Amino acid sequence: MSQVPLIASQRQSAVPQVEVLSTGPDLEVRVVRDPAGLEDLARDLGDARFVALDTETTGPNWRADRLRVVSLTIPGSNRAWVVDAQAVDPRALGPVLQGRWIVGHNLKFDLLVLKRAGVEFEPAGFFDTFLAEKLLTAGLKEWHDCSLADAVARRLSVRLDKSPRASFRLPGPLTEAQVRYAALDAWAAGMLAEAQSAALKRDDLLAVATLEFLALPAIVWLESSGVPFDAERWEALAREAVGQAEALARRIYESAGVNPDSPKQVLEALRRRGHAIEDTTEATLKVLDDDLARLVLAYRDAANRAGKFGRDFLEYVVDGRVYSDWHQIGAVTGRMSSSEPNLQNVPRYPDYPHRTCFRASEGRVLVKADYSQIELRIAAAIAPDRRMLEAYRQGRDLHTLTAQMVLGRNEVTKEDRQRAKAVNFGLIYGMGADTLIEHARNNYGVELSEAEAQEFRRRFFRTYRGIAAWHERERRAGTHDVRTRAGRLVRNEDRLTNRLNTPVQGTGADGLKRALAKLWIRRHEVPADVKLCLAVHDEIVVECNEDDAPAVADWLKACMKEGMQDLIPEVPVEVEIGVGPSWAGDSMRPVHDIVGQGDRSACPPASKPPQNGPQREQSEPQGQPFDDSNPFGLIEPNDWEFEWQLP
């Protein structure tokens, strides 16, 4: 797109401070620098249902950096507005945005920035072009390149110059280059949304896009809440890990004369001790009956705790809470991810007590809800597997059933159930015997011989014939597109394990996001000080006052069950609830101490979302038809009987 120099019109002081600028042959920009200009902006937007929005800040940290600019445009129009947040109180934008559909790229950041600036409004809904682009490119190499500039170049053949972005860090009045940049970002988001809408309809992704947009305000709630944190306990654990690592390094050097951080030195030392090994991986060292191997493993564990869960983690603690960057579509399957810090990576094992540091303050508690065996339930529905489905419908524990049918146990011990658990979660995704051995050892602390792994595989697929038939169908099908039960599309899956894994984990991610959307929309059913703190694959954690825990637990459990159940109606969904002072499992009170004490009427049943999924054989795109009042063809929120509000 060609650009011409900005030309500012001259206004007398009695006229609102709105500069009319031209950024090209078709786009006019007005800069708002006083309250009267905001009134002019409101009149200009009129009754437009869709408004494209973008913010510019002094940096990428919404908690610390200042809002500089809010730019707005009506998608498809030739006019943009750039509101100077240094000259105008941005809170006055709330009434301007009230009741409109908000279009933008990576709206999570914009909404967090506006929330911190005190801009309050209730939109009609959202269209996030970043989330839409992630949906449209899942399975393609372009999935990793979904910035606004990348998406606009791909879909509109327009190049956006992003170099002025860094200039917003500098003090002083807005420059013409900054105004041009901000205006074009809002304009580009609006134009991109129109192009993406046609692609979403073409690829039958409107329903899952609606799901992502519905979940967006819950992700804003999640990120803005943070997690209560005991920094002193964390620092003590970090010091302990550093001390252990240093002591173990000394013992290893004194006993073998090697640096434990050097795999080459460790390998040579172990070979000198008679071990014919090719590497020093954890799997290799665990099977060696040698004190040096055990010391090296202990050292690596302590060094890992000292590094990954060390003092550097504390830089993310602000006023007693940890704030993470939550990525709504963190994987092509639709699973969320977390970074800076990665809260999904904090282990739950007893020998890693770090979850005890995520601790509520006096008088507050954490309510934790987990989906029970959800990936097995989803796999049973997708396959389908009659024996698994019947077991779940009868309320049986599938790990116990596998211990009986596959391991051949009459009386199932705790250890037997753990072995069966490793077998179940490994073989539903088609692991071979060698991979199953490693999976069982690394994830469940279970040792399997090669003969056991091969025999368990044979018995597993004879027991669960529906799973075996599903695997065989996928093996024969070869490379093809894969969909989740909510209609999420991953293109060109060429690996068998991915063709099995994606519809299961992706459906789990869809169900979790439906639950998050329901929690946000029904948040008025619980006290206003309830905070959404964590969403980790199959687990959601909220914080509340201790006295409110029973009702909050009921609310959380109901929304999670309803969020997932409609996607897998063939099998009952179970949610396990615990309440305690910290995130650690052993601090949680069991479900029977909580559920049933609250007001169960707080969570009325939800209506069903639009249904998509691989079981359909129809070719027509799903979703609502386009019309003039809804140019993006979005499925309206009232299709779920949802009520929209902004954090």
DSSP string, 225-247: H-EE--HHHHHHHHHHHHHHHHH
Going by pLDDT thresholds of 50, 70 and 90, the confidence category of residue 352 is confident
Instruction: Tell me the mean pLDDT in the region 579-585.
Output: 91
Angstrom distance (rounded) from CA 155 to CA 171? 35
User: Is the separation of the CB atoms in 108 and 338 below 8 Å?
Assistant: no
Q: Is the peptide bond before 384 cis (omega within 30 degrees of 0)?
A: yes
Q: Name the percent of the chain lying above pLDDT 70.
A: 87
Task: Decide if pLDDT at 154 tops 70.
Answer: yes
Task: Decide if pLDDT at 231 tops 70.
Answer: yes
Q: Residues 513-556: pLDDT tens digits?
A: 999 999 999 999 999 999 999 999 899 999 999 999 999 999 99
CATH number for region 18-202? 3.30.420.10
Question: What is the amino acid identity at position 164?
Answer: P
Question: What is the amino acid identity at position 298?
Answer: A
Of 336, 339, 335, residue with least CA distance to 324? 339
pTM for this entry: 0.88
Task: Decide if pLDDT at 299 tops 60.
Answer: yes
Question: What is the amino acid identity at position 438?
Answer: E
Going by pLDDT thresholds of 50, 70 and 90, the confidence category of residue 634 is low
Domain limits, CATH 3.30.70.370, in the chain: 335-372+505-602
Instruction: Tell me the mean pLDDT in the region 92-101.
Output: 95
In whole numbers, what is the pLDDT of the chain averaged over residues? 87
User: Quick one: pLDDT at residue 143?
Assistant: 97
Q: Name the percent of the chain lying above pLDDT 90.
A: 81
User: Is the separation of the CB atoms in 296 and 260 below 8 Å?
Assistant: yes
User: Is the separation of the CB atoms in 110 and 185 below 8 Å?
Assistant: no
Task: Decide if pLDDT at 505 tops 80.
Answer: yes
Of 173-177, 395-399, 550-554, 643-647, give the lowest mean pLDDT range: 643-647
Domain limits, CATH 3.30.420.10, in the chain: 18-202
User: Quick one: pLDDT at residue 11?
Assistant: 29
Q: Residues 377-434: pLDDT tens digits?
A: 999 999 999 999 999 999 999 999 999 999 999 999 999 999 999 999 999 999 999 9
Task: Decide if pLDDT at 351 tops 70.
Answer: yes
Angstrom distance (rounded) from CA 395 to CA 488? 30
Going by pLDDT thresholds of 50, 70 and 90, the confidence category of residue 633 is low
Angstrom distance (rounded) from CA 559 to CA 548? 17
Which residues partner with 127 through β-bridges? 103
Instruction: Tell me the mean pLDDT in the region 558-585.
Output: 95
Instruction: Tell me the mean pLDDT in the region 245-255.
Output: 95
Instruction: Tell me the mean pLDDT in the region 275-279.
Output: 93
CATH number for region 375-486? 1.10.150
Lookup result for tokens 């074009």: 184
Task: Decide if pLDDT at 21 tops 90.
Answer: no
User: Quick one: pLDDT at residue 348?
Assistant: 82
Question: What is the amino acid identity at position 428?
Answer: I
User: Quick one: pLDDT at residue 225?
Assistant: 97
Helix ranges, 340-427 (H): 374-382, 386-393, 398-405, 414-427
Domain limits, CATH 1.10.150, in the chain: 375-486
Q: What is the dihedral of CA 338, 499, 142, 208, to 10 degrees?
A: -70
Angstrom distance (rounded) from CA 321 to CA 229? 5
Which residues partner with 236 through β-bridges? none
Angstrom distance (rounded) from CA 373 to CA 446? 19
Q: Does domain 335-372+505-602 have CATH number 3.60.15.10?
A: no
Going by pLDDT thresholds of 50, 70 and 90, the confidence category of residue 23 is low
- Within 13 Å of residue 52, how many CA atoms lie on the same side as its CB? 25
Of 21-25, 81-85, 466-470, 495-499, give the lowest mean pLDDT range: 21-25
Q: Is the peptide bond before 35 cis (omega within 30 degrees of 0)?
A: no
Instruction: Tell me the mean pLDDT in the region 578-603.
Output: 65
User: Quick one: pLDDT at residue 26?
Assistant: 74
